[in-house]
Structure 1
Amino acid sequence: MTGWVDLQVNGYAGVDFNSETLNEAAMIRACQRLRADGVEQCLVTIITAPIAAMTKQVERIVSWIDSQALIRSVVAGLHLEGPFLSPHDGFVGAHPKAAVIPADLDTTKQLLASGCGHVRLLTLAPECDQDAAVTRFLTRQGVVVAAGHSDASLEQLDRCIDAGLKLFTHLGNGCPAVQARHDNIIQRVLSRSDRLWISFIADGHHVPLFALKNYLACIPSDKIIIVSDAISAAGLGPGSYPLAGQTVHVDDDGAAWAECRTHFAGCATPMKRMRQILRDHAGVNEATLDTWMRTNPLRLMDQSPVSTRT
């Protein structure tokens, strides 16, 4: 495998993976564009929605993974980002607050059943997972558990790490713009970077480059993963685009904003552009980029090509 492995793709090239109108032909087009743009494999990301809507969307995408060789070769599985996230402003981000719920085993089993073995990663807020029961269950089922959209305390983080939590999703995002000076979720996660993989959106918008360089410098290189968090706007330039029933506005500089303009809503920057940004503006060499964009995500997903898992 020589292409990149992207663990967080909500849509691509005009195709919204969270749309109720998504069809097989559109899914094939998106996979063709992803492959053409250097992404060898990805996890299709389904964001928070009412459980019935999430399971229906998962079932539809899984049916195409099982029936279409091209989709199966690109889509290595599903990343469920939610619904067990923090409901508080800032932390909830672009996820619909009304659909956010506490983690519970019955709902988790329902989500996994809809995925028929294709759910590979689930992002939750540790403070919403009482006694880390859901984290422990998912880990035993072979699903990678990530924290994200969270204001977990150190104790809550450690409890879930001990239960199997492996990743923190897009650090520096899914949190309020204004936080406590020292004791905040970013600093807590950085303090556990010896025990967690940490992913970043390297578009220069979600985390300013000077801050991103600081974060990257203090995390072990073998714990860093770059994700695109791509939405349907990725690769298309400025304009208005759909994301799970929302409208996202992409500015001339590539920043993707929710309609309220208070927070970003996914990302319009493809992985190939992130590679250029990290190389040209953050001074990251090619070998390290390969580690962050291919080797580490494969290692996280059990040190084997994710397409071989069922």
Structure 2
Amino acid sequence: MSGFVDLQVNGYGGVDFNSEKTDEAAMVEACERLKADGVQSILATVITAPLRSMVSQIDRIAKSIDNVSEIRDVVAGIHIEGPFLNPDDGFVGAHPKAAIRPANLSDAQQLVDAGRGHVRLLTLAPECDQSATVTNFLTNQQITVAAGHSNASLDQLDQSIDAGLRLFTHLGNGCPAIQPRHDNVIQRVLSRSDRLMISFIADGHHVPMFALKNYFARVPNENIIIVSDAISAAGLGPGDYPLGNQTVHVDQSGAAWAPCRTHFAGCATPMNRMKQLLIAEIGADNVSLDTWMRTNPRRLIENV
């Protein structure tokens, strides 16, 4: 494996990509730390905030990619996670409810324009994208669309897949802890795993490793992607760390908790540690790891 390709990085090594205080020097520092930890390329991830703030954050990251070769060498593009997500408890996760909004072309265009051609991926909830209009719009611009933080029905998933949906973001998370035992979003997405790539956070906290092994047994190898969902705490150990306008607490086990301590808010586990866990806990071989952590995400970034 020549290096991890991580589609979901909110920050790293003390640097928060969702902070207006993060300048190009800080971005370079984060990129150097990522490379030292075996990461070849990432999508810098901007999470839900008031639309004006999201536009500003996306613009700032896009400019840093254009201006600084050390950033451009690592940051392959931008992943926009939100604001077109399901606002219901559990599904909304750590995203601020007040900033969630239905998918619409005007807002989507603003977000894309701010990225100056660097937006590669956008995560939305299909049930919030009427007639899959935004999914179709983004797909036609060669921007990969993912579902996530969603309670989409099978019909809504199928409609979005037909419109170009290619990925489901961090399955098993961004959903309530208690759900209907059979007809729930996890089972619906798994039933479409022959048509969708699916990303998973393999830190042992977001999804127990035994459950992850069960999911992997259902999903075709070519459709599995490992993401870190890393925040500024990644690789730094226990403590309190920023994620946008909130403070995340990383406990002694390495789990990253939202202020309410009822759900996780990003992840503090680097990709190299996830690789170790996948080997030790589910017996993953090097060929599979290379497919999940490099080949498949790169294929998605390159939109092939």
| Fold match (TM-score > 0.5) | yes
The one-letter amino acid of 1:117's match is: G
Q: Following TM superposition, by how much is the alpha carbon of 1:299 offset from its aligned partner in structure 2, in angstroms?
A: 1.4
Structure 1-normalised TM-score? Answer: 0.97
8 Å contact from structure 2 (residues 91, 149) kept in 1 = yes
Task: Report the equivalent of 1:70.
Answer: 70
The alignment yields a C-alpha RMSD, in angstroms, of: 0.9
Task: Report the equivalent of 1:85.
Answer: 85
Q: What SS class does the counterpart of residue 176 from structure 1 fall into?
A: coil
Task: Report the equivalent of 2:241.
Answer: 241
Inter-partner Cα distance in structure 2 for 1:233 and 1:31: 14
Task: Report the equivalent of 1:114.
Answer: 114
Task: Report the equivalent of 1:8.
Answer: 8
8 Å contact from structure 2 (residues 144, 303) kept in 1 = no
Q: Does 1:211 align with 2:208?
A: no
Task: Report the equivalent of 1:185.
Answer: 185
Inter-partner Cα distance in structure 1 for 2:99 and 2:229: 20
Q: Which runs of structure 2 are paired with 1:12-31 in the superposition (5 Å)?
A: 12-31=12-31
The one-letter amino acid of 2:84's match is: F
Q: Which runs of structure 2 are paired with 1:1-310 in the superposition (5 Å)?
A: 2-302=2-302
8 Å contact from structure 2 (residues 9, 229) kept in 1 = yes
Q: What SS class does the counterpart of residue 102 from structure 1 fall into?
A: coil
The one-letter amino acid of 2:92's match is: V
**Paired residues, what number?**
304
- Cα deviation, 1:169-202, whole Å, max 9, x if unaligned, reads 0000000000001000000000000000000000
Q: What SS class does the counterpart of residue 73 from structure 2 fall into?
A: helix
Q: Which consecutive segments of 4 or more residues in structure 1 shift more than 6 A?
A: none
8 Å contact from structure 2 (residues 3, 38) kept in 1 = yes
**Between the two proteins, what is the percent identity of the paired residues?**
70
Q: Following TM superposition, by how much is the alpha carbon of 1:303 offset from its aligned partner in structure 2, in angstroms?
A: 5.9
Structure 2-normalised TM-score? Answer: 0.99
The one-letter amino acid of 1:278's match is: L
Q: Following TM superposition, by how much is the alpha carbon of 1:281 offset from its aligned partner in structure 2, in angstroms?
A: 1.1
Q: Unaligned stretches of 5+ in structure 2?
A: none
Bigger shift: 272-281 or 295-304? 295-304
- Cα deviation, 1:189-239, whole Å, max 9, x if unaligned, reads 000000000000000000011111100111100000000000000000001
Q: Unaligned stretches of 5+ in structure 1?
A: 305-310
Q: What SS class does the counterpart of residue 94 from structure 1 fall into?
A: coil
